[in-house]
Amino acid sequence: MTQNIYDDETFFAGYSQLPRSVHGLDGAPEWPVLRSMLPELAGKDVLDLGCGFGWFCRFAAGEGARSVLGIDLSEKMLERARRETREAGVVYERADLESFVPQPAAFDLIYSSLAFHYLADLAGLFGRVHAALKPGGSLVCSVEHPLLTAPARQEWLADADGRATWPVNGYLDEGERVSNWLAEGVVKRHRTIATYVDLLLAAGFSLTKLVEWAPSPEQVAAEPGWAKERERPFFLLMAASRN
């Protein structure tokens, strides 16, 4: 079973204060790019894996999706999602993505934001996700970029010129990484970019878009503190389709 860190009191309190928790999709700087990777949503059946507070489910409903199913492991997040969702056609369900089996050939879009890097058996989930798409349907998802999950110490270094430099080691050694982000002992799974892509291909997907996301120069101009975030990518965004 996946670690249910989002129901940890300390983690939940910290996570609830992040801009993306307070402001929703508009508080997530990668959202404009992720949004550009989405198909038209009107009339579509949508599944959100790791829906959290339900921001994307509500967005999809607002865009005219016919049905939206949001899945999460966290009772605290689902409780808030249900409380704040007024849009019609949105249903939330508690499940562990390690074992969740969505209905076959039922969805036009399966979406997932920053959830897959918690999972041990991504091959299994990708297989079930592929089967759950209608032919022509698509998967659009984001994960922490492997350059972030790889290193033993996620601490900026300086090169000989004093330039901010991201430390990479352990990149080829996939598997568990324990970090102290918002709470102690948060367990993530490091995979290389090639592994993410090959898991998609092995599940039968065609890859349609790959983005190594970092703030745009315009976003850095608006938030000068983000300047070094352009030294390396922060999120990996992927779109793939079922033929």
Contact residues toward a second copy (CB under 8 A) are 147, 150-153, 155, 157, 159-161, 163-173, 192-194, 197-198, 201, 206-212, 214, 230-233
31 neighbors 55 (Cβ within 8 angstroms): no
Min CB(34)–a second copy separation in Å: 14
DSSP 8-state class, residue 178: E
- CA atoms of 200 and 194, how far apart (whole Å): 10
Buried residues in 137-159 as b, exposed as e (16+ CB within 10 A): bbbbbbbbbbbbbbbeeeeeeee
Min CB(143)–a second copy separation in Å: 13
For a second copy, which is the closer residue by CB, 63 or 212?
Answer: 212
Min CB(96)–a second copy separation in Å: 29
119 neighbors 143 (Cβ within 8 angstroms): no
For a second copy, which is the closer residue by CB, 29 or 102?
Answer: 29
For a second copy, which is the closer residue by CB, 183 or 197?
Answer: 197
Min CB(166)–a second copy separation in Å: 4
For a second copy, which is the closer residue by CB, 106 or 114?
Answer: 114
240 neighbors 216 (Cβ within 8 angstroms): no
For a second copy, which is the closer residue by CB, 23 or 163?
Answer: 163
For a second copy, which is the closer residue by CB, 64 or 217?
Answer: 217
Which three-class secondary structure string do you get for 97-160? Answer: CCCCCCCCCCEEEEEEECCHHHCCCHHHHHHHHHHHEEEEEEEEEEEECHHHHCCCCCCCEECC
Radius of gyration of the chain (CA): 18
Min CB(29)–a second copy separation in Å: 14
DSSP 8-state class, residue 25: G
Min CB(153)–a second copy separation in Å: 5
Collect all residues with Cβ–Cβ distance below 8 Å to 126 and sequence separation of at least 6: 199, 200, 202, 203, 205
